Amino acid sequence: MVRLASLQRWSWLVALVLLARASLGAAKPWSAEVAEQSTRTPLSVFVDFVAIEDSAPLNAKIASWFSSQGATYASGWRERFESSQLLNEQAPGMHVFVTRAEPELLRIFFVFKDGASRRFLVRDIALPTGLDEVGLENAAQVVFSASLALWEGREETPIERFSAPLAPMPAAAAPLASSQRSEQRARAPARAYVVTALGYAARYRGALGFAQGPRWSLGLARRSPMLREFGLSAAGTLLLPQTITEPELSLVLSGYSFSLEPWLEVGRSGSWRWLASLAAGVDVLSASPRAVGAQVAPGSATRHWDPFLAPRFGAYFQWAQLSFGLAFDLSAQIVGRHYDISEAGEPQLWLQAWRIRPGLLVEVLWRERP
């Protein structure tokens, strides 16, 4: 019995020793892994924007994602790039090439060099509404997450699949002469799409007060990858009744305004767009004089047509397919308009409208998805 108890005590002692050794063996690689992670070099990223006009908003979005994680970030812009620059990248760290393969598609190439090895990744990002606020945020998030995935070795594109999208890319072609680039831009396919707008317009006529009212327009526009948006719209404005009152006579003006208006996008910065246009139209006005006292006999109501030209410039904030804008114009009346009072058979000037009329337009535009 004594011998059996002694053997039991020794078996418990051996079990404790083996358990302690196993715990120490498991703890060693865990400590090594923690040390390795703490000494890992932070991610260094360089992004090249290839032939992307006004890349500043997208650059700012991408930079904000990386800076929040403590990564080193830098960027540049180039007109084109060769496939060899991707496949033979020598700079250490992450190199990202952002290209616009189509108006509604970003194609992004990632090259990560770690020592003598290189890993590749390619991503396509659909832009159904272009590089608006939603498109910018989505593109920046994909660039950030894909860079981390490649850096950590969680994702990688085989070299065969990585190099396949390079063939049809315009940036990978041989340099073209200026005349050839112009021909390619002229032949670039661009489908026309519908643009409609609802707003409120006002123009100051001087002694005749404001011509103002709701405005509606319908037009067609188009855009190619290398051109700004341009289009032509037809607009109609309901001119609300305006009463000009003098001591003995009043005049009520009302009617409509119609115009044709070609426009051009002259600039863009992120979600902001600047549009310039030239409206050619006519105001159809009804003038109804009314007597205030018994000493004046009003004439009959008249209707007249006043043609005009109006250059306009506006700033518009784009959100998805909607744009909210404010535009200023300067209407030049082709015909001078004035109203007279007849005394003893002699006409006397009573009211005279300005020939140059400053105006303001507030509107919301909706674009059919091109």
pLDDT in tens, 215-238: 999 999 987 554 578 899 999 999
CATH fold, domain 44-175, is: Double Stranded RNA Binding Domain (3.30.160)
Residue 127's pLDDT band (cuts 50, 70, 90): confident
How far apart, in whole angstroms, are the C-alpha atoms of residue 370 and residue 365? 15
- What is the signed CA dihedral for 214, 220, 224, 230, rounded to 10 degrees? -50
pLDDT in tens, 198-210: 999 999 999 888 9
A 10 A CB-CB count for 282 gives 15
CATH fold, domain 193-367, is: Porin (2.40.160)
**Which residue carries 């003098």 as its tokens?**
246
The residue ranking higher by pLDDT, 226 or 286, is 286
How far apart, in whole angstroms, are the C-alpha atoms of residue 225 and residue 190? 8
Whole-model pTM: value is: 0.52
- CB distance 123 to 110 below 8 Å: yes
Tokens in use for 56?
A: 């500043």
- CB distance 326 to 361 below 8 Å: yes
pLDDT in tens, 153-196: 888 888 767 665 554 444 433 333 444 444 444 444 457 889 99
Rg (CA), the chain: 36
How far apart, in whole angstroms, are the C-alpha atoms of residue 267 and residue 264? 9
Show me where the domains of the chain are located. 44-175, 193-367
**Which residue carries 């540049």 as its tokens?**
76
